[in-house]
């Protein structure tokens, strides 16, 4: 605000700021007890293999059932968890719970877990992954970690070492939200990702937007040259799915195939032609 608006202008601004800060502090406080009060739950969203027409994997998506506010979306509370350091214990719970449930599934589907860049910081990730696999008995090859470009942007050397250690255990590594960062392409040289997930912002504009088509086609060609599979996020229509198939996309995830849900058993019977 400019000074000419006077004293009240400034006061108003401060009051608004206070409210935002207050809300964040409150959420941080509530997040601290959310784990012990068992307010977290995992939902699972299917990933369809477009060659076989079968569900091959699920992504674990964290849900917070707040006692008064109902369902709070991860977009709201993950940043608060990251700022407050709570992402450590919360992320570890997600990892353990995802492995525990996947180990009990009726079919050997894979499970994908989102990992925050901050979970790389203290170097404990390989040990936590190992512990989660051991406690659950899940085959490491059934676990996939989804990371974003910012992991390599942060402390590239330190984080690459962690990624390699985890990958040597047999765990797969996927790059999430591909195309939204500053230098997505360069990271494909830095680490042998098992999969790249094309961000839903590109998929949304299919099949008519020429730019989206060109970008996905370019990603697809490059991925093929590098021997990496591509998965499309946010597939909502048949037309999008057809366009993606035509561009050699290997897997699809989105509301068209299934919304995130607590129960997954029904997918054992799903086969899409």
Distance CA 142, CA 208 (A): 36
Shortest distance, position 113 Cβ to Mg ion, whole Å: 9
Task: List the one residue from 73, 183, 201, 214 that touches ligand C2E (CB under 6 A).
Answer: 73
Stretch that binds Mg ion, among 37-45, 78-86, 112-120, 183-191 (CB under 5 A): 112-120
Stretch that binds ligand C2E, among 73-81, 182-190, 208-216, 237-245 (CB under 6 A): 73-81
Residue closer to ligand C2E (CB basis): 17 or 64: 64
- Interaction of residue 177 with ligand C2E, rule CB under 6 A: yes
- Interaction of residue 89 with ligand C2E, rule CB under 6 A: no
Q: Residue 271 has which token pair?
A: 């086969």
- What's the DSSP call for residue 261? B
Compute how many residues bind Mg ion; rule: CB under 5 A.
5
The closest residue (CB) to ligand C2E is 254
230, 198 in Cβ contact below 8 A?
yes
249, 220 in Cβ contact below 8 A?
yes
- Interaction of residue 119 with Mg ion, rule CB under 5 A: no
Which of Mg ion, ligand C2E, none has residue 73 at its interface (CB below 5 to 8 Å by kind)?
Answer: ligand C2E
- Dihedrals φ, ψ of 61, to 5°? -120, 125
- Interaction of residue 231 with ligand C2E, rule CB under 6 A: no
CA distances from 45 to 66, 112, 123 (A): 21, 10, 29
Residue closer to Mg ion (CB basis): 220 or 253: 253
In 10 A of CB 142, how many CB atoms?
Answer: 20
Q: Which residues pair with 235 in a beta bridge?
A: none
Task: List the one residue from 146, 220, 250, 253 that touches Mg ion (CB under 5 A).
Answer: 146
In 10 A of CB 262, how many CB atoms?
Answer: 10
Which of ligand C2E, Mg ion, none has residue 116 at its interface (CB below 5 to 8 Å by kind)?
Answer: ligand C2E
- What's the DSSP call for residue 107? S
- What's the DSSP call for residue 2? -
174, 146 in Cβ contact below 8 A?
yes
Task: List the one residue from 5, 246, 255, 262 that touches ligand C2E (CB under 6 A).
Answer: 255
Task: List the one residue from 116, 136, 231, 240 that touches ligand C2E (CB under 6 A).
Answer: 116
Q: List Cβ neighbours of 109 (8 Å cut-off, separation of 6 or more).
A: 55, 56, 57, 58, 102, 142, 264, 267
Which of ligand C2E, Mg ion, none has residue 75 at its interface (CB below 5 to 8 Å by kind)?
Answer: ligand C2E
- Interaction of residue 251 with Mg ion, rule CB under 5 A: no
Q: What is the 3-state secondary structure (H, E, C) of 220-247?
A: HHHHHHHCCEEEECCCCCHHHHHHHHHC
Shortest distance, position 89 Cβ to ligand C2E, whole Å: 12
Q: Which of residues 4-63 bind ligand C2E (CB under 6 A)?
A: 45, 61-62
Distance CA 151, CA 156 (A): 7
Q: What residues line the site for Mg ion (CB under 5 A)?
A: 114, 146, 176-177, 233
Q: What residues line the site for ligand C2E (CB under 6 A)?
A: 45, 61-62, 73-75, 78, 91, 94, 114, 116, 146, 176-177, 200, 233-236, 254-255, 260
């Amino acid at each position: 605000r400019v000074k000419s608006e006077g004293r009240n202008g400034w006061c108003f601004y401060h009051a608004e700021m206070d409210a935002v800060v207050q809300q964040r502090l409150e959420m941080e406080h509530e997040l601290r007890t959310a784990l012990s009060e068992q307010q977290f739950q995992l939902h699972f969203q299917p990933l369809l293999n477009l060659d076989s027409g079968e569900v091959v994997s699920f992504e674990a998506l964290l849900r917070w059932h707040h006692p008064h506010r109902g369902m709070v979306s991860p977009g709201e509370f993950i940043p608060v968890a990251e700022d407050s350091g709570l992402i450590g214990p919360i992320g570890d719970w997600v990892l353990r719970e995802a492995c525990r449930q996947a180990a009990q599934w009726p079919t050997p589907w894979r499970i994908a877990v989102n990992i925050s860049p901050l979970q790389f910081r203290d170097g404990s990730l390989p040990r936590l992954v190992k512990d989660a696999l051991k406690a659950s008995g899940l085959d490491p090859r059934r676990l996939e970690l989804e990371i974003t470009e910012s992991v390599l942007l942060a402390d590239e050397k330190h984080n690459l070492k962690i990624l390699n250690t985890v990958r040597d255990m047999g765990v797969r590594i996927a790059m999430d939200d591909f195309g939204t960062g500053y230098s997505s392409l360069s990271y494909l040289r830095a680490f042998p990702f098992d999969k790249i997930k094309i961000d839903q912002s590109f998929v949304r504009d299919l099949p008519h937007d020429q730019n989206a088509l060109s970008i996905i086609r370019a990603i697809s060609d490059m991925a093929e040259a590098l021997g990496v599979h591509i998965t499309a996020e946010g597939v909502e229509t048949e037309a999008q799915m057809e366009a993606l198939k035509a561009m050699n996309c290997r897997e699809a995830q989105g509301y068209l195939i299934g919304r995130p849900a607590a129960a997954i058993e029904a997918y054992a019977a799903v086969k899409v032609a």
